[in-house]
Structure 1
Amino acid sequence: MIFAFFFILGAIWGSFSNVCIFRLPQDKGVVLDRSFCPQCKCIIKWYDNIPLISFLYLKRKCRNCDCKIDFQYFFVELLSALTFCVVYFVYGLSVTTLLFIILSIFFIIIFFIDLKHFIIPDELSFPLMFIGLLKSFYPNLDQELFPNLINSLIGGILGYVIIWVIIFLYKKIKNKEGMGLGDAKLLSAIGFWFGWVSVPLIIFFSSVIALLYVAPTLINKTKSLTTEIPFGPYLIIGTVVYIIFGNQIKLILFNI
């Protein structure tokens, strides 16, 4: 029964995430404005806006104009629902579960916005930084997952500085922009959440994953080395890898 609760809660937050993904890049409000079809502009009734169910019932079409609904809406709701369940399964009813649920909502929104628009809105990065720092004042968190205040502060500063230095050097050498400050702010937020030790590991994981994804397109020449790619999604995937395997990797490194 509790899994059903987290699944439904996750689907609801996934629906809200879809609103943010669609509206934030357009500087539109995400709370008061009602959902509408992007094609016919008709307001979507509540019974056509039930997470997951309405998508399946309407067969991926708008009731009013038969415009196809982007599969991303269903995928985000399902991903959010499953993420909530997995977090609860691993960490139970705890503050850690609450924190990871909050983090997952931010990560899902940032992932899809950056993937599509190549931007990471400050409206997401700054609250994520603040929450990452604020949680360090809670005394009973697992120190292996979440660092103390000093570690968190260093992590936030280090995350920003590393990306800023990469941007600065690339611009000096190539005389053009390589990465955006949105990536620096995101890595800073991640540093606030998981401390300075996490930053180099997450950069490594993210870079390897990005390289593995981009390499085939470079080989078949559908993309070149100058093709712009969003790095935010890779930072998020790298962070997930760190959360899952970080402790084991740190044990290996510190025992060498």
Structure 2
Amino acid sequence: MDFIFIIVMGGLWGSFANVCIYRLPQDKGVVSGRSYCPKCKTQISWYDNIPILSYLFIQGKCRKCKKQISIQYLIVELLSVLSFVIAYFFYGITITTLLFIILALTFIIIFFIDLKHYIIPNGLTFPLMFIGFIKSFDPNLNELFPNYINSLIGGVFGYGIIWAIIFIYKVLRNKEGMGLGDAKLLSAIGFWFGWIAIPFVIFSSSIVALFVVLPSLLNKSKKFSSEIPFGPFIIIGCILYIIFIEQYKNLLF
């Protein structure tokens, strides 16, 4: 029963994540008003708003105007369910599971907003920083999470290193290289996982970004000066850190 409950909650919160992804960049309230078709603006009935199942049943099309609904909605809900299931599988019904669920949902929302709009809302990164730091005062949490000193150092280090990159790039090229949204996101990761996570996240996210962007550079559809959303790569780097944390620490120590 617990497993079914986790899946259902993952789908419901994934549906809420979709609302955030659509409305936050437009400065719209995420809890005001019913969901509606982005094409014809028709309100979506409850039976067409059941996470995952409704999308599959109506074949990804609005029942009213028959226009295709972005598969992103299905992907976000599936990722949310997957995140809930993985957190529950490894940590059960614990505070650690709740924290990872909060982190995962925020990461999903940031990932898709930055991917499309090239922005990372402060309304997402600031609460993430706050939670990351406050939780560090609990000595009974999973060893993945640092104490409050390492958390504070991590938050400052994460922000400072991206700020320094932005500053140096602007001095050398006289234009912005990255956004402060990336600095705040990396700072939040520092608050959550401590200063030790920052070098790994920066290195791995840069490598992933290079492999993703390299084909576009080779076929000249993008230039080195082209703007790319780096937030999704920082998130991927953080996920890789969580997966390979033991190997990383063994390498260092």
Partner residue, 1:154: 153
Partner residue, 1:196: 195
1:8 CA drift (Å)? 1.2
Partner residue, 2:250: 251
Indicate the percent of aligned positions where both proteins have the same amino acid: 64
| Residues 73-121 of structure 1 deviation map (CA, whole Å, 9 limit, x = unaligned) | 0110011101111111112221111110110000000000000000000
Letter in 1 for 2:190: G
TM-score (normalizing by structure 1): 0.97
Partner residue, 1:173: 172
Partner residue, 1:127: 127
Partner residue, 1:24: 24
| Residues 33-92 of structure 1 deviation map (CA, whole Å, 9 limit, x = unaligned) | 211111111111111111011111111111111111100001100111011111111122
1:239 CA drift (Å)? 0.1
Alpha-carbon separation, structure 2, partners of 1:105 and 1:224: 32
Partner residue, 1:45: 45
Letter in 2 for 1:51: P
1:136 CA drift (Å)? 0.8
- Aligned pairs, how many? 253
Alpha-carbon separation, structure 2, partners of 1:252 and 1:160: 25
In the alignment, structure 2 segments of 5+ residues that lack a partner are none
| Residues 121-140 of structure 1 deviation map (CA, whole Å, 9 limit, x = unaligned) | 00101000010011112220
| Residues 136-192 of structure 1 deviation map (CA, whole Å, 9 limit, x = unaligned) | 12220123x000000000000000000000000000000011100000000000000
Tell me if 1:111 matches 2:89: no
1:210 CA drift (Å)? 0.6
Letter in 2 for 1:8: V
Partner residue, 1:14: 14
Letter in 2 for 1:211: L
Deviates more, 1:42-51 or 1:147-156: 42-51
TM-score (normalizing by structure 2): 0.98
Alpha-carbon separation, structure 2, partners of 1:175 and 1:56: 49
1:3 CA drift (Å)? 2.1
Q: CA RMSD in A?
A: 0.9
Partner residue, 1:74: 74
In the alignment, structure 1 segments of 5+ residues that lack a partner are none
- Secondary structure in 2 matching 1:44: coil
